[in-house]
Amino acid sequence: MKKIKLNVLGISYSQTQSGAYALVLSEVGGDRRLPIIIGGFEAQAIVIKLENLNPPRPLTHDLFRNFSELMKANLKEVFIHKLDEGVFFSQLIITKDGKEIIMDSRTSDAVALALRFSCPIYIAEEIMDKAGIVIKESEYEDAEGEEKQKPRSPKASPPGLSELSLSELKTKLDEAIKAEDYEKAAFIRDEIGKREGKEKK
Protein backbone atom coordinates (compact mmCIF):
# COMPACT_ATOMS: atom_id res chain seq x y z
CA MET A 1 0.00 0.00 0.00
CA LYS A 2 1.50 3.31 -1.10
CA LYS A 3 1.67 6.06 1.52
CA ILE A 4 1.57 9.86 1.15
CA LYS A 5 3.19 12.10 3.77
CA LEU A 6 1.10 14.89 5.32
CA ASN A 7 1.77 18.09 7.28
CA VAL A 8 -0.60 19.84 9.70
CA LEU A 9 -1.80 23.01 7.95
CA GLY A 10 -4.18 24.46 10.54
CA ILE A 11 -7.48 24.33 12.40
CA SER A 12 -10.71 26.27 11.98
CA TYR A 13 -14.29 26.17 13.21
CA SER A 14 -16.35 23.57 11.37
CA GLN A 15 -18.94 25.15 9.10
CA THR A 16 -21.15 22.06 9.26
CA GLN A 17 -21.09 20.86 12.88
CA SER A 18 -21.68 23.12 15.88
CA GLY A 19 -18.92 22.86 18.51
CA ALA A 20 -16.61 20.98 16.16
CA TYR A 21 -13.48 22.03 14.30
CA ALA A 22 -11.90 21.27 10.95
CA LEU A 23 -8.34 19.94 11.04
CA VAL A 24 -6.65 20.51 7.68
CA LEU A 25 -3.70 18.34 6.63
CA SER A 26 -1.63 19.13 3.52
CA GLU A 27 0.08 16.77 1.10
CA VAL A 28 3.88 17.03 1.16
CA GLY A 29 5.08 17.83 -2.35
CA GLY A 30 1.51 18.20 -3.65
CA ASP A 31 -1.45 20.58 -3.79
CA ARG A 32 -4.10 18.49 -2.09
CA ARG A 33 -5.58 19.16 1.34
CA LEU A 34 -7.41 16.78 3.67
CA PRO A 35 -10.11 18.33 5.94
CA ILE A 36 -11.10 16.25 8.98
CA ILE A 37 -13.83 17.17 11.49
CA ILE A 38 -12.59 16.85 15.09
CA GLY A 39 -13.78 17.72 18.62
CA GLY A 40 -12.92 20.75 20.71
CA PHE A 41 -10.60 18.95 23.15
CA GLU A 42 -8.50 17.47 20.34
CA ALA A 43 -8.45 20.83 18.51
CA GLN A 44 -7.08 22.49 21.66
CA ALA A 45 -4.44 19.77 22.05
CA ILE A 46 -3.27 20.34 18.48
CA VAL A 47 -3.32 24.15 18.72
CA ILE A 48 -1.16 24.06 21.86
CA LYS A 49 1.63 22.28 19.96
CA LEU A 50 1.21 24.35 16.79
CA GLU A 51 1.65 27.51 18.88
CA ASN A 52 4.44 26.03 21.06
CA LEU A 53 2.59 26.75 24.30
CA ASN A 54 3.65 25.08 27.56
CA PRO A 55 0.66 24.19 29.79
CA PRO A 56 1.29 24.30 33.57
CA ARG A 57 0.26 20.65 33.86
CA PRO A 58 0.38 17.89 31.23
CA LEU A 59 -2.66 17.29 29.07
CA THR A 60 -3.73 13.75 28.14
CA HIS A 61 -1.56 13.62 25.01
CA ASP A 62 1.44 14.97 26.93
CA LEU A 63 0.87 12.31 29.57
CA PHE A 64 0.85 9.62 26.87
CA ARG A 65 4.17 10.89 25.55
CA ASN A 66 5.71 11.05 29.02
CA PHE A 67 4.51 7.54 29.84
CA SER A 68 5.84 6.21 26.52
CA GLU A 69 9.25 7.74 27.17
CA LEU A 70 9.30 6.22 30.65
CA MET A 71 8.47 2.80 29.17
CA LYS A 72 11.08 3.33 26.41
CA ALA A 73 8.47 3.15 23.65
CA ASN A 74 8.53 5.52 20.69
CA LEU A 75 5.82 6.64 18.27
CA LYS A 76 7.46 6.00 14.89
CA GLU A 77 4.63 7.23 12.66
CA VAL A 78 0.91 7.85 12.30
CA PHE A 79 -0.93 6.16 9.43
CA ILE A 80 -4.43 7.13 8.25
CA HIS A 81 -5.39 3.80 6.71
CA LYS A 82 -9.17 3.72 6.36
CA LEU A 83 -12.14 5.93 5.44
CA ASP A 84 -15.60 4.58 6.23
CA GLU A 85 -18.77 6.68 5.85
CA GLY A 86 -16.82 9.92 6.26
CA VAL A 87 -14.87 8.75 9.32
CA PHE A 88 -11.06 8.47 9.12
CA PHE A 89 -9.35 5.62 10.96
CA SER A 90 -5.71 5.81 12.01
CA GLN A 91 -2.98 3.61 13.41
CA LEU A 92 -0.10 4.45 15.75
CA ILE A 93 3.08 2.66 14.69
CA ILE A 94 5.03 2.21 17.93
CA THR A 95 8.50 0.74 18.41
CA LYS A 96 9.67 -0.87 21.67
CA ASP A 97 12.58 -3.24 22.33
CA GLY A 98 13.19 -3.60 18.60
CA LYS A 99 9.58 -4.67 17.96
CA GLU A 100 6.87 -2.80 16.06
CA ILE A 101 3.43 -2.46 17.66
CA ILE A 102 0.32 -1.18 15.86
CA MET A 103 -2.47 0.50 17.83
CA ASP A 104 -5.79 1.82 16.54
CA SER A 105 -6.49 5.50 17.22
CA ARG A 106 -8.87 8.30 16.37
CA THR A 107 -7.20 10.47 13.75
CA SER A 108 -7.49 13.61 15.89
CA ASP A 109 -5.65 11.92 18.78
CA ALA A 110 -3.10 10.45 16.40
CA VAL A 111 -2.26 13.89 14.96
CA ALA A 112 -2.00 15.43 18.45
CA LEU A 113 0.44 12.67 19.40
CA ALA A 114 2.42 12.97 16.15
CA LEU A 115 3.07 16.64 16.95
CA ARG A 116 4.35 15.72 20.41
CA PHE A 117 6.61 12.91 19.19
CA SER A 118 7.72 14.87 16.08
CA CYS A 119 6.92 11.83 13.97
CA PRO A 120 5.60 11.77 10.38
CA ILE A 121 1.93 11.46 9.42
CA TYR A 122 1.03 9.31 6.42
CA ILE A 123 -2.17 8.47 4.58
CA ALA A 124 -2.99 5.64 2.18
CA GLU A 125 -2.84 6.92 -1.39
CA GLU A 126 -6.30 5.56 -2.22
CA ILE A 127 -7.83 7.53 0.68
CA MET A 128 -6.08 10.75 -0.37
CA ASP A 129 -7.32 10.18 -3.92
CA LYS A 130 -10.86 9.85 -2.58
CA ALA A 131 -10.95 12.56 0.12
CA GLY A 132 -8.19 15.03 -0.84
CA ILE A 133 -9.11 18.36 -2.41
CA VAL A 134 -6.99 20.66 -4.58
CA ILE A 135 -6.98 24.32 -3.56
CA LYS A 136 -5.14 27.58 -4.14
CA GLU A 137 -1.79 28.17 -2.39
CA SER A 138 -3.03 30.56 0.33
CA GLU A 139 -6.44 29.00 0.94
CA TYR A 140 -8.00 25.72 1.96
CA GLU A 141 -11.49 24.33 1.54
CA ASP A 142 -13.45 22.82 4.37
CA ALA A 143 -15.41 19.61 4.06
CA GLU A 144 -18.28 21.42 2.32
CA GLY A 145 -15.98 23.15 -0.20
CA GLU A 146 -16.20 26.67 1.27
CA GLU A 147 -12.95 28.60 0.94
CA LYS A 148 -11.49 30.16 4.08
CA GLN A 149 -8.14 31.73 4.91
CA LYS A 150 -5.61 29.41 6.53
CA PRO A 151 -6.11 29.64 10.33
CA ARG A 152 -3.59 29.69 13.16
CA SER A 153 -6.07 28.81 15.93
CA PRO A 154 -9.84 28.28 16.29
CA LYS A 155 -11.19 31.52 17.77
CA ALA A 156 -11.18 35.16 16.72
CA SER A 157 -8.37 37.27 18.16
CA PRO A 158 -9.24 38.91 21.52
CA PRO A 159 -9.72 42.68 21.16
CA GLY A 160 -7.24 45.21 22.55
CA LEU A 161 -4.01 43.22 22.12
CA SER A 162 -2.50 45.85 19.82
CA GLU A 163 -2.94 48.50 22.53
CA LEU A 164 -0.87 46.61 25.14
CA SER A 165 2.88 47.02 25.60
CA LEU A 166 5.23 44.08 25.03
CA SER A 167 5.73 43.55 28.76
CA GLU A 168 1.95 43.67 29.32
CA LEU A 169 1.47 41.09 26.56
CA LYS A 170 3.97 38.75 28.20
CA THR A 171 2.14 39.10 31.51
CA LYS A 172 -1.17 38.36 29.78
CA LEU A 173 0.42 35.32 28.11
CA ASP A 174 1.51 33.90 31.47
CA GLU A 175 -1.96 34.53 32.90
CA ALA A 176 -3.68 32.81 29.96
CA ILE A 177 -1.44 29.74 30.22
CA LYS A 178 -1.98 29.47 33.99
CA ALA A 179 -5.73 29.73 33.40
CA GLU A 180 -5.37 27.03 30.70
CA ASP A 181 -6.98 29.33 28.12
CA TYR A 182 -4.71 28.12 25.32
CA GLU A 183 -6.67 29.65 22.46
CA LYS A 184 -6.27 33.13 23.95
CA ALA A 185 -2.63 32.39 24.73
CA ALA A 186 -2.02 31.44 21.09
CA PHE A 187 -3.20 34.86 19.87
CA ILE A 188 -1.15 36.69 22.50
CA ARG A 189 1.92 34.70 21.48
CA ASP A 190 1.30 35.64 17.83
CA GLU A 191 1.11 39.34 18.76
CA ILE A 192 4.35 39.07 20.78
CA GLY A 193 6.02 37.37 17.80
CA LYS A 194 4.96 40.22 15.49
CA ARG A 195 6.31 42.87 17.88
CA GLU A 196 9.63 41.11 18.46
CA GLY A 197 10.00 40.52 14.72
CA LYS A 198 9.62 44.24 14.02
CA GLU A 199 12.15 45.13 16.70
CA LYS A 200 14.80 42.88 15.10
CA LYS A 201 14.47 44.62 11.71
**pLDDT number for residue 148:** 39
Of 195, 190, 198, which is closest to residue 47 (Cα–Cα)?
190
Domain ranges of the chain: 3-149, 161-200
Question: CB atoms < 10 A from the CB of 50, how many?
Answer: 17
pLDDT digits (tens, 9 = 90+) for 72-98: 999 999 999 999 988 999 999 999 999
Give the confidence band of 187 by pLDDT, cuts at 50, 70, 90: confident
Give the confidence band of 141 by pLDDT, cuts at 50, 70, 90: very low
Express as a percent the part of the chain with pLDDT over 70.
80
Of 135, 127, 87, which is closest to residue 107 (Cα–Cα)?
87
**pLDDT number for residue 190:** 74
**pLDDT number for residue 201:** 52
pLDDT digits (tens, 9 = 90+) for 51-77: 887 787 888 999 999 999 999 999 999
Give the confidence band of 125 by pLDDT, cuts at 50, 70, 90: very high
The backbone region for 47, taken as left when phi is positive above 0, alpha when psi lies in -120 to 50, beta otherwise, is: alpha
Give the architecture (CATH level 2) of 3-149: Roll (3.10)
3-class state of residue 161 by DSSP: helix
Of 124, 153, 116, 161, which is closest to residue 9 (Cα–Cα)?
153
In whole numbers, what is the pLDDT of the chain averaged over residues? 81
**pLDDT number for residue 153:** 45
Burial of 7 (0-12, 13-18, 19+ CB in 10 A): exposed
Q: What average pLDDT does range 148-159 have in this prediction?
A: 47
In angstroms, the first-to-last Cα distance of the chain is 48
Q: Does the pLDDT value for residue 150 go beyond 50?
A: no
Say if CB 115 and CB 156 are below 8 A apart.
no
**pLDDT number for residue 36:** 92
Sign (positive/negative) of CA torsion 132, 134, 136, 141?
negative
